[in-house]
């Protein structure tokens, strides 16, 4: 677990924010001037834990992470997936106690930025504050869509919907190919995200393979039939709010 100061990491944050807002040169430079300490984490390692009161935020640079919570005798619910450019605990700036945990799913590189510096940044750059706020609102929109999937979609539809979502999110930050993208997680992870068991995830995946909607080779997802996949899950990308917009 080496710990180094790495300003270059912040270009990932600039890229992410520019995917949802328009930044001025000055704003871009202010972000790049943030201090950041980069670390490499092993798969399955906690970054922040339920109940913590963090004094820094974490920026994912490489690999996948997830928010999750454990209830009962070890039942896990994954609340969101996170990829390069995400700041999954941005809410800790305004909500001081973590109500869930954050962990890596794969080996991952993450950068840590102190709250103090982020607060100063948003105090001096309202445009950046608006972009961050917007980012947390898109996050909430994704929670809502997951709620709909859990409550009112079948396992098959829900999973198809998730694949559509992940593909578009990865594409938006340049991490997807043509109808194919990395999916470096296990079936257990998928199950815990979808509110299913690993056994049933396996059954549904088999079905989707049989109907030639997808293939899953190693750790990459290939979408063989985007139209069908998005149709069976009634996928409407509006909720991802991917169009670039002026912050103010």
Partner DNA sequence: TGTAAAAATTGATCTGGGTTATGGCCGCCG
Partner DNA sequence: CGGCGGCCATAACCCAGATCAATTTTTACA
Which residues would be at the binding site for a second copy (CB under 8 A)? Answer: 51, 67, 69, 71-72, 75-77, 79, 91, 94-97, 99-100, 119, 123, 126, 129-130, 133-134, 136-141, 143-148, 150-153, 192, 194-195, 234, 238-239, 241, 245, 247-248
187 binds DNA (CB under 7 A): yes
* Strand ranges across the sheet with 46-48: 46-48, 101-104, 65-71, 75-82
User: What is the distance between the alpha carbons of residues 155 and 78, in angstroms, rounded to a whole number?
Assistant: 16
Q: What is the DSSP string of 153-200?
A: S-HHHHHHHHHHHHHHHHHHTT--BTTEEE----HHHHHHHHTS-HHH
Separation in Å, CA 210 to CA 55, 138, 202, 203, 204 = 48, 34, 12, 11, 10
- Of these, 45, 80, 117, 197, which contacts DNA (CB under 7 A)? 197
Contact flags string 142-181 toward DNA, x per CB under 7 A: ------------xxx-------------------------
Are the C-beta atoms of 87 and 135 separated by less than 8 Å?
yes
- Say if CB 165 and CB 230 are below 8 A apart: no
Query: CB of 222: closest distance to a second copy in angstroms?
Result: 26
Tell me, residue by residue from 211 to 240, as one string, x for binding to DNA by CB under 7 A and - for no binding.
-------x----------------------
155 binds, among a second copy, DNA, none (CB under 5 to 8 A by kind): DNA
DSSP E strand boundaries for 200-248: 214-217, 220-223
Number of residues that bind DNA (CB under 7 A): 17
Q: How far is the CB of 26 from a second copy (least distance, A)?
A: 17
Residues, the chain: 248
- Told to check if 203 binds DNA by CB under 7 A, we report yes
Beta carbon of residue 45, minimum distance to DNA (angstroms, whole number):
13
Helix (H) or strand (E) segment spanning residue 108: strand 108-114
Provide, rounded to whole angstroms, the least separation between the CB of residue 74 and DNA: 11
Please identify which residue in 19, 80, 171, 202 interacts with DNA, judged by CB under 7 A.
202
Q: C-alpha 169: how far from its chain's center? A: 8
Stretch of 26-34, 76-84, 129-137, 193-201 contacting DNA, by CB under 7 A: 193-201
Where along the sequence are the contacts to DNA (CB under 7 A)? 154-156, 186-188, 195-200, 202-203, 205-206, 218
């Amino acid at each position: 677990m080496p710990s180094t100061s790495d300003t270059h990491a912040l270009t990932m944050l600039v890229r992410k924010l520019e995917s949802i807002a328009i930044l001025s040169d000055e704003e871009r430079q202010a972000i790049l001037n943030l201090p950041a300490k980069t670390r490499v984490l092993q798969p399955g390692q906690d970054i922040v834990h339920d109940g913590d009161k963090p004094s820094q935020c974490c920026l994912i640079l490489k690999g996948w992470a997830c928010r999750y919570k454990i209830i009962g005798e070890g039942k896990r619910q994954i609340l969101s997936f996170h990829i390069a450019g995400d700041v999954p605990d941005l809410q800790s700036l305004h909500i001081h106690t973590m109500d869930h945990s954050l962990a890596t799913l794969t080996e991952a590189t993450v950068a840590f930025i102190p709250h103090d510096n982020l607060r100063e940044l948003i105090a001096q750059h309202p445009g950046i504050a608006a972009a961050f706020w917007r980012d947390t609102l898109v996050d909430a929109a994704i929670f809502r869509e997951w709620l709909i999937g859990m409550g009112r979609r079948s396992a098959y539809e829900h999973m198809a919907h998730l694949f559509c979502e992940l593909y578009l999110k990865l594409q938006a930050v340049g991490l997807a190919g043509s109808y194919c993208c990395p999916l470096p997680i296990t079936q257990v992870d998928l199950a815990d995200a979808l509110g299913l068991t690993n056994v049933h995830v396996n059954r549904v995946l088999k079905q989707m393979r049989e109907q030639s909607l997808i293939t899953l080779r190693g750790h990459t997802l290939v979408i063989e039939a985007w139209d069908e996949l998005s149709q069976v899950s009634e996928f409407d990308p509006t909720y991802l709010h991917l169009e670039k917009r002026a912050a103010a």
